Structure 1
């Protein structure tokens, strides 16, 4: 999909009619491609679908009715207008009954105003159908509220400056940082400060899907592409046209997908799973990772050419423990948000509670802080949150965490997330910012009893 002049395919085995029609379209606002053979038109359709097809009905190699049926299977959103000579009107009527947009009898030169009006209606309908399909999908996914990056620390101000520098440029961006540090928030801010603000921001976590499902979600699929594919599915590559696509945890992307993603980024074209037609989409890519991609490159698990393609500009999101001066601001902001959500009139946090928040190491970063504040708002029975409303003892946790090695730290964090969600693995995985599959593997690895 592109924001260019519409393209029309004209199919007729009569070269004289093709030349006549081409001369009639010189002052029309679209691009015309002519074909003297239906199969040539289908081949071109697979490479670059047009906005409208106009076809003769009676042709020796393939009838216009057969061509219409094949177009309906390959590109159902593409309208078809048939032109029929005397004796083939019945086939044209049959095609219209089966979904063709309209038909005209030759000659068309004596009815050009009506013909061009119909062409414009067909182009408008095709565009409306494509936009409607994307709008429905966007509505299902939900639109994100405006992003807010909270903090005054030098570390977070450096991130703000980076966002302002790169937002207006067409460069791809790679955001690095620990789980829960706010990488998606940075991506959304880049989108909102770019020229693509009026279009949609889509976020996909590469670690949440298996290889096959991830490809289907991003590339889309055609009806019948696999068992259960009962209808055409628009993928995020297609829906993000003119907007921004955020691929979180790009380091978890399977090797086969990395190869395909690189090809899409280089050509801005892709093919739906089970399809043959090339689809164009102009989207901006922002990727994020909580892993060391250079280390993965050295291990051979992440493509170096893809890394250099997505890391045109890099932003490092600092962990919360490295910007403790922002904790009071963050706590106050989310206290107000959750107070309004739950209808609680809480004035603030006690000095002891703020001290506890500042001293805690926050292995789950801002995401964990948000969870702690939400829980505190729910259980607080006064107008001020105290240490009794916090799910940890600051002094105890400070001592415990400072002595742990990385393996024990991960085990502690997994156990903490599971306890806070009453053993619900899906909710715990969401809190930790990892997939449920990864959490289950970690639970088995550390022999946690949940």
Structure 2
């Protein structure tokens, strides 16, 4: 198999991570260097007009609550923001709804942010249905200063769900790998790229990060010991352990939906094949039995099947197999080179990378019908991952000679670029909902 230079991560996964690099040291938990700016292109087929003003007393708190909410909603491409900062609005008084209806607003957000004597902050808001002339009722979030951004994201999630019917993902997190010179960093950030933290920095590659279903752990492949091994790390504490360090290569971890197992690619018995292993590193089970390279497993949401990449037909294509083992079935037939499957949490779609001419582009398959839709016109896409509400996909690509992260809607109409100024970024993965009740 041959690979474009931009396909570094996918090539390492397809070859079982056999490119060995030199030694390095583990850095302590630290704040990530790079911060993000968001560039949005495109809008949804329809946009909901919503008026948002500054929260009362917002100037007395360390985070611009209303601006964070606006940025979240704008990034979705589904909302048209009307500026209400000139109006004196808060959560307690009834706003002049007929005036806002005449300005074209369907909804209006009012709120307040009050410092409390114990150092916490009381953030209150109310969403008004301008057309019906009704308020949703006041909601109060009492949080510490360090949780104010998260409170703003939760408010944006609530608005998104009330106005679209789908759960918002603004309060979720992403993980990705950043590379600056010889330094490779595993980064965890809010879904808007802010609040970035670096649980691991080493001088060898880190590839294939994967979130556990509870959002508390990350599995990834580390080369820091001179060979690729699968590591599971607790995000909050930094505690880590090798769960697959067999002879040969250990790569491409994927969590089972119940969080008890990982699907991994191992070459311990010869060629790269799929195995299941417990999250504690116990109970190894072989899934595929072939002389081909089988790798990049992705679970179905019900945990009954694995989707994976294999060159058993002569070139990389995507197959599916029961998680308990059995006869694989080919899934992709359009294009001669298809890799990196990601299954939407609702089980309806598969995102993957397909070679088109000399480039690699993000595609979407409707699993029930097999219908395939190209989502991008770029040439170096890789590593797709679905948002937990199944409405967006994050992926890596190249722009102006650098690796960057993008999100796209499932129809490809709305794209947002998360661009850093100090490092290349790749291998993004979107974390689960942080609040189980909202799954």
Normalized against structure 2, the TM-score is what?
A: 0.25
Give the greater-gyration-radius structure (CA). Answer: 1
Q: Structure 1 or 2: larger helix share?
A: 1
TM-score normalised to structure 1 length? 0.24
**Higher share of residues assigned strand:** 2
